[in-house]
A and B are shown apart, each in its own frame.
Chain A
């Protein structure tokens, strides 16, 4: 019965458990889980809640270390967020984890009304942000930043790598109030340790200078931007990279200072729909300040994204390193 056709290698749809690390890339395993455990040793008010996704958000490490402070809420994201709010009202600092689509889309009103409206001290840490799974729109959180940015008082963080996550965990705990943090889980790339970098909540950071292009990016797109900058050296294109791990509140001072240096093409690169994310936030800041450089967006289209292998999809939607480099060259030509 089985066909005798020769097996050709094929790209497989990335499973939900997949890591975004490229082959041969330096990685750290479960940086979020480890950082949270370390912090929770010092801060007894930290509790962990999940909606049937502790293993898929690295929160299981916290659960193993502090079983009495870990609460499995079942696959019920509205309960997850509202109960996290309830625990915050009783003085605890809940870290609530699920996938980004469910934490934002499924639970939106609970996040908005229960958590944000009362400025409760809940840290929502959500995996599979933007386009980091090939499972199709049900699991692709292309609009999570737009949704969370739209909530008054919400702090929104999009870390780039393991180092960023490690340092962001204590920083968001230090901040009083609700935080939405995009989470990379499993084997997470380690990149920023080579850039004399430190995460500071609310601060953007220049990672490298450059005369021709200013790439403003967040999340894993900063990793891509650094790769693009290196790749374009061969073409004598000089690319600066400004990493903006805090999407809200936005570090407009740094962004305006960098963008007002004349002669550079300003490009915002984000793993997010072009609607309502970092690109639009930067554009608004620039126009409001009367700064009008040449401006472009590298972002996901305003469309329901395809299912398929992640590398295919990143190429298709222009956020792979190769696709980005090609796009930049066309803009510069």
Chain B
């Protein structure tokens, strides 16, 4: 049963998710391109991570006590920058530089460019093994922070992911939380057609992980999954499998032919923003 405070929390996080979607569309408009289908689909997860679950200091992105967030799927940078803006780590007007020469916001996420970007992702399948090392390091230092590895479903194809999955369980990394965006999309088509990875929850469980699979666009479910992952008392790594819808929140993009690089015409960015504004206005 939803309490009143639950309802307040959902409404607050839905507002954050709306703003993340809006920032992403504005960056897409700046470049005339971008992985905006992924950003819209993953915005709810990012909102809960950055506006509910994680500890960090916006003005001190290297604070030793911060929870680490690894953007393994570097091409989701547009989504992640939007979350960093919403979290106050990056100034809003900086989005005007997205993808431009000498910007701090390159199209693929890189640690040396952007405050709050922990790793250079993009060579897919590297985040989870790095997260294992950081989680081991934090534990050795006695630092109670969590490591969140954020990855795409395409990265489930890489052997390195499963090497790390086994390693994390072997080392009992209870401070490691893996977030997987299952948007059923890869470069060559639907993920399940490119390389079948189901039954996914069973696989992670067999590897020794605490597994939750939820609708990544259901705010209540996303919040509950993060809370449960953080609260678990066992020394087990935790994975949350988020089924998401590419283009979520902008019906004409939700309906567009599914593609790794979704086509958006120049005039459609503003249309997308208008639709987001209208539906959020109605929700308030």
Q: A249 contacts the other chain (Cβ, under 8 Å)? A: no
| A76-B159, A135-B108 known; A308+B187 contact, CB < 8 A | no
Interface 9-residue window, one of A50-58, A83-91, A197-205, A321-329:
A50-58
Chain A at the B interface: mostly helix, strand, loop or mixed?
Answer: loop
Distance to closest chain B CB from A226 (angstroms): 27
Partner of B99, one of A3, A12, A17, A53: A12
Contact present for A2 and B120 (CB under 8 Å): no
Distance to closest chain B CB from A211 (angstroms): 39
Contact present for B157 and A52 (CB under 8 Å): yes
Contact present for A138 and B186 (CB under 8 Å): no
Distance to closest chain B CB from A12 (angstroms): 5
Contact present for A15 and B33 (CB under 8 Å): yes
Contact present for B159 and A79 (CB under 8 Å): yes
Chain B at the A interface: mostly helix, strand, loop or mixed?
Answer: loop
Distance to closest chain A CB from B131 (angstroms): 17
Contact present for B195 and A74 (CB under 8 Å): yes
Q: A257 contacts the other chain (Cβ, under 8 Å)? A: no
Using Cβ atoms and an 8 Å threshold, which residues of chain B touch A73?
Answer: 195
Contact present for B194 and A13 (CB under 8 Å): no
Distance to closest chain B CB from A17 (angstroms): 6
Using Cβ atoms and an 8 Å threshold, which residues of chain B touch A53?
Answer: 187-188
Distance to closest chain B CB from A85 (angstroms): 16
Cα of A102 to Cα of B125 in the assembled complex, Å: 11
Contact present for A75 and B106 (CB under 8 Å): no
Contact present for A138 and B194 (CB under 8 Å): no
Contact present for B123 and A72 (CB under 8 Å): no
Contact present for B110 and A74 (CB under 8 Å): no
| A72-B194, A74-B195, A138-B122 known; A307+B108 contact, CB < 8 A | yes
Using Cβ atoms and an 8 Å threshold, which residues of chain A touch B74?
Answer: 138
Contact present for A11 and B101 (CB under 8 Å): yes
Contact present for A2 and B101 (CB under 8 Å): no
Q: B248 contacts the other chain (Cβ, under 8 Å)? A: no
Contact present for B157 and A13 (CB under 8 Å): no
Cα of A26 to Cα of B96 in the assembled complex, Å: 34
Cα of A241 to Cα of B159 in the assembled complex, Å: 44
Chain B residue, CB-CB nearest to A11: B101
| A52-B154, A75-B155, A102-B123 known; A308+B102 contact, CB < 8 A | yes
Contact present for B194 and A74 (CB under 8 Å): yes
Contact present for A55 and B188 (CB under 8 Å): yes
Cα of A16 to Cα of B187 in the assembled complex, Å: 11
Could you tell me which residues of chain A, from 25 to 77, have a CB within 8 Å of some CB in chain B? 50-56, 60, 72-76
Could you tell me which residues of chain B, from 182 to 200, have a CB within 8 Å of some CB in chain A? 186-188, 193-195
- Encode B106-119 as 1/0 by CB contact (under 8 A) with A: 11101001000000
Cα of A60 to Cα of B124 in the assembled complex, Å: 22
- Encode B189-228 as 1/0 by CB contact (under 8 A) with A: 0000111000000000000000000000000000000000
Chain A residue, CB-CB nearest to B157: A74
Chain B residue, CB-CB nearest to A74: B195
Distance to closest chain B CB from A16 (angstroms): 8
Q: B93 contacts the other chain (Cβ, under 8 Å)? A: yes
Q: B261 contacts the other chain (Cβ, under 8 Å)? A: yes
Using Cβ atoms and an 8 Å threshold, which residues of chain A touch B31?
Answer: 12-13
Distance to closest chain A CB from B219 (angstroms): 23
Q: B121 contacts the other chain (Cβ, under 8 Å)? A: yes
Partner of A75, one of B30, B102, B186: B186
Contact present for A3 and B93 (CB under 8 Å): yes
Q: B172 contacts the other chain (Cβ, under 8 Å)? A: no
Q: Can you pick out 22 interface pairs between chain A and chain B where the beta carbons lie within 8 Å of each other?
A: A11-B100, A12-B33, A12-B100, A13-B31, A17-B261, A50-B188, A52-B154, A53-B187, A75-B154, A75-B155, A78-B159, A79-B159, A134-B107, A135-B106, A136-B106, A136-B110, A136-B122, A137-B120, A138-B74, A139-B123, A307-B110, A308-B101
Give A contacts to B, CB under 8 Å: 2-3, 5, 10-13, 15-17, 50-56, 60, 72-76, 78-79, 101-102, 105-106, 134-139, 306-309, 312
Q: Which 10 A-B pairs have the closest CB atoms?
A: A74-B195, A138-B122, A74-B157, A307-B106, A75-B157, A308-B101, A135-B108, A138-B123, A13-B99, A13-B107
